[in-house]
Amino acid sequence: MSIQMALAGASAKPTGKRPHFLESWEAERAMSIAMALAGELVVTRQRLDTLERLLAAKGLVSRDEIESFTPTKAEAAERGLWNQEFLARVLRVVQQEAEALTATDDSSENIAEELAR
């Protein structure tokens, strides 16, 4: 249950009208996706680094073995779930755009004025 909850909700839009900074929303959206990808690339790079250091230290695995690896059905499912998690994270901004279509958000300025009354 928690995994489904996390897949659906981890990228949720916070309340409030999202500010736009760039000339077009298209550019803004592309940057959001690119930055998420950048983060995931770094994470992957660090994981590879971890693996390579451990393997090298133990003298365990050759590059050929990695290239010819075939996952079992369960292993493939595990990797598939990772792909789902990856996509939910990278496409967060698209999910939030959809959520914003049905949200009745006020602007930060309006709320600030109200709170100051």
Residues that bind other proteins (CB under 8 A): 1-3, 5-6, 9-16, 18-19, 21-23, 28, 31-32, 35-36, 39-40, 42-44, 46-47, 50, 85, 89, 92-93, 96, 106, 108-109, 111-112, 114-117
Q: 6 near 89, Cβ under 8 Å? A: no
Burial class of residue 88, CB neighbours in 10 A (0-12, 13-18, 19+): middle
Q: Of 12 and 98, which has the nearer Cβ to other proteins?
A: 12
Of the pair 6, 77, the CB lying nearest other proteins is at 6
Helix, coil or strand: residue 3: helix
Question: What single DSSP character describes residue 18?
Answer: P
The nearest distance, CB 56 to other proteins, in angstroms, is: 14
